[in-house]
A and B are shown apart, each in its own frame.
Chain A
Amino acid sequence: MRVAPAASIVACLVLLLSWLSVRAINPEAETFDRALAEIDRFAVLENELYRDIYWARTGTLRNYDPVVRSIDALHDAVNRLRNTAVIDAETRAAVDRLAASIDRQEELVEHFKSENALLHNSLA
């Protein structure tokens, strides 16, 4: 007589835990982790770019190769983010906005490099 209630409690617990386990499964968790890591890397690259531009402005950057590398790396990072942005339309739109901002930044950086070279010519 005492076995039946215990067995029913165990069965209920097993069902509850199974349901919770199924609910906890997130097949997109790895994708999220990769995307978050890429966003972190993106932020680091952007900071490196701003630092190099500042150094170029003050004349302490020896050449523009680091700036080129940063821009290329930002484009690569956006492409990798795009691969992880198949989750939903909202994420895709956010990555598209990020890509557009990099394109715009690249335009500004190229304009800066050309004008900065002329400035340093004038100061030579």
Chain B
Amino acid sequence: MMRFRYRFPIHSPRRRRWTCIGIVGSCVAILIAASAVAQAPSDLLKIDGSIADQEPIAPIPDPPAANPFKLALGERLFSDPRLSGSGALSCISCHDIRTNGARANDAIVSRPFDTLTVFNAVLSFRLNWEGNYRSPAAHVVSSLENPKNMRSSVEDVVRKLNADSGMVDQFRAAYGGEPNGERFLDAIVTFEKSLVTPGARFDRWLRGDRSALSETELEGYRLFKSLGCNSCHQGINVGGNLFERQGIFRPLVQRPPEIVRVPSLRNVAMTPPYFHDGSAATLQDAVRRMAASQLDRTLTDEQVEPIVAFLRTLTGNYRGSPVAGATP
């Protein structure tokens, strides 16, 4: 130590020079390492094992176990036209679970917003575009009482169900008693909870299946994150867990509300049109407009196509088959 001090006294120019060289060298090494990481995004995505723990999106689990009698009853009620005052509409009129859980060109009902899919709706923290329902049961009650569509009520429905001996028997088998409001809502909600679509290719990738996505789709996911889309579209439902203003930098949709519950992107490729006024017919259009309006970014075709490719990987399975697009 004494020798060192002797050779390089603290104020000596030689010691200061070596100190500067050391600091600059360290900085250069850190910058080189950082740039190497930044220039190899695909390497970042090649994470084995627990990818899901390190990503902003989480895979959808299988539907929760449910009493099969309640489930069957809920499914029957979901397509029962007695739920509407006119006897012409049922839940499935607007939420066709044989296709995408919504309908694109449905002229038989009147509604202020584009219909959201019922698939994975229970995974969102609020329901509807405005997020004004906290629970599926509250949403069912409101839908029944909608004066423009169902024009009914829980009491009316229960009265009709009690007049059907077959339905009463089914309620007794499921709940040990005749239909009432609580049992009716529970049956519908039990069925809605089963309407989840696990098994999307992106979920398989999250669970460690590296072959589930192509390079283009991975590139799209990288762009999705680097542009900041995942600031809002994250979590198990790729959205659906916060409110956000629409039209931050440029107008997105002319019609109110200004603040919407961020929609889920699950099965988004199968649920056109997009936005609450249904003004975007294609995913490409929706991605471009969202980037301009929410992120102040103008995307090129080379950026849009990989993002759309990634979004297509969010299509899951219902009852073992991929969610299909609506029939026009």
Contact = CB atoms under 8 A, between A and B. Distances in A.
A80 interface: no
Nearest to A122: B228
B56 interface: yes
A26 interface: no
Contacts of B245: 114, 118
B232 A117 contact: yes
Chain A binding surface SS class: helix
A121 B242 contact: no
B323 interface: no
Q: How large is the interface on A (under 10, 10 to 19, 20 to 34, 35 or more residues)?
A: 10 to 19
Given A118-B248, A121-B294, A124-B226, A68 B231 contact: no
A23 interface: no
Interface residues of B, number: 24
A68 B131 CA distance: 13
B227 interface: yes
Nearest to A123: B228
Interface in B210-233: 225-228, 231-232
A79 B79 CA distance: 33
Contact of A121 (B125, B228, B243, B259): B228
A123 B227 CA distance: 9
Contacts of B242: 64, 110, 113-114, 117
B189 to A, nearest CB: 15
Interface in A54-97: 62-65, 67-68, 72
Residue in B225, B226, B244 whose Cβ sees the most chain A Cβ within 10 Å? B244
Interface string B222-264: 0001111001101110000111110010000000000100000
A120 interface: yes
Interface string B43-71: 00000000000111110000000000000
B295 interface: yes
B236 A117 contact: no
Contacts of A63: 56-58, 234-236, 241
Contacts of B248: 118
Contacts of B259: 114
Interface in B250-295: 259, 294-295
A124 B295 CA distance: 9
10 contacts: A63-B57, A64-B235, A65-B235, A65-B241, A113-B241, A117-B242, A118-B248, A123-B228, A124-B225, A124-B227
Interface of A: 62-65, 67-68, 72, 110, 113-114, 117-118, 120-124
| A-B pairs, 9 with minimum CB distance | A124-B228, A63-B235, A63-B234, A121-B228, A120-B231, A113-B242, A65-B235, A117-B231, A68-B125
